[in-house]
Structure 1
Amino acid sequence: MTSKGSCLCGSITFSVSKFEPMVGNCHCRMCRKFHGAAFSTFADVKYENFKWLSGESFLQSYRASNNTVRQFCKQCGSSLTFRSSNSDLHSTIEIALATLDDEVKISPDAHIFVESKVGWYSPNDDLPCFRQYRDSEIISPND
């Protein structure tokens, strides 16, 4: 089943035909700043399973100091995608899960970069909390 997503103003639309298993809540400072929230939730998608449907001319990219690339709508500012060296290595793009227009039967499987989380929020679910990326130490969300 194909899922469709869009930015807040609807200028940009995309589709995803298949999600990869990794869906993470990222608590790093850059994700928090970019989303204006305690964390962001991204789902991995292989390039071949992702398609821009409309509005590519409204896409804007921001390359951060750590060489990650975030794409957003230059009309409304909606965060849409994230790419890192890890994404490039696996031919994936990470989709901001909350931009999907329909419900999907996937959910986060981990909290990452928890050492950077805001002080006013701590994960309170049963998902593993990684100090940094998934290959780092698992920690208590209150550490």
Structure 2
Amino acid sequence: MAIMTGSCLCGKIRYQVTQLEPQMAHCHCSMCRKFHGAAFATYGEAKAENFRWLSGEALLQQYKADNGTVRQFCRECGASLSFATANDDGSVIEFSLATLDCDIDARPDAHIFVGNKANWYQICDTLLQFKQARE
């Protein structure tokens, strides 16, 4: 079992992942674009038992959107760390893949919410594309 670690920009929040789930996606919804300040956000997933905060958990701040989704970020540096759907049961943690401090062999397998993508960005790869969430 490979142990992967990740952190926020200032390094005060650290986490560990022992196994990634196979689904990883580039999310093009307008909220992810605004939250990340980019054309899309890329999320990985880990079962809750394969994810744990190592340090700085008290610095986690939450933003709950009108649609019930919850985004967690470092209140010190603002780095985006995790995302939860409105009906999240806590069994899977979706985390910002770019916050990993190590290389991984897995790759994103889809673009989601492409119906909301930035008009100035062109998807140029052959990954599956979903107008909304995965179908």
Same structural fold, with TM-score higher than 0.5 when normalized by the shorter chain = yes
Matches within 5 A, 1:42-121: 42-85=43-86, 87-88=88-89, 91-121=91-121
Residue equivalent to 1:37: 38
1:16 aligns with 2:17: yes
Kindly state the Cα deviation for residue 50 of structure 1 after the two structures are TM-superposed: 0.3
Percent of aligned positions that are identical? 55
Distance 2:95 2:105 in 1: 15
Residue equivalent to 2:130: 130
4+ long deviations beyond 2 Å: 85-88
Equivalent position amino acid for 1:21 in 2: P
Structure 1 gaps of 5+ residues are 136-143
TM-score, normalising length from structure 1? 0.91
Report how many aligned residue pairs link the two structures: 134
Kindly state the Cα deviation for residue 85 of structure 1 after the two structures are TM-superposed: 4.0
- Contact 2:24 2:108 (C-alpha < 8 Å) held by counterparts: yes
Residues 13 and 31 (structure 1), Cα distance of their counterparts in 2 relative to 1, 3 Å cut: same
- Contact 1:12 1:58 (C-alpha < 8 Å) held by counterparts: yes
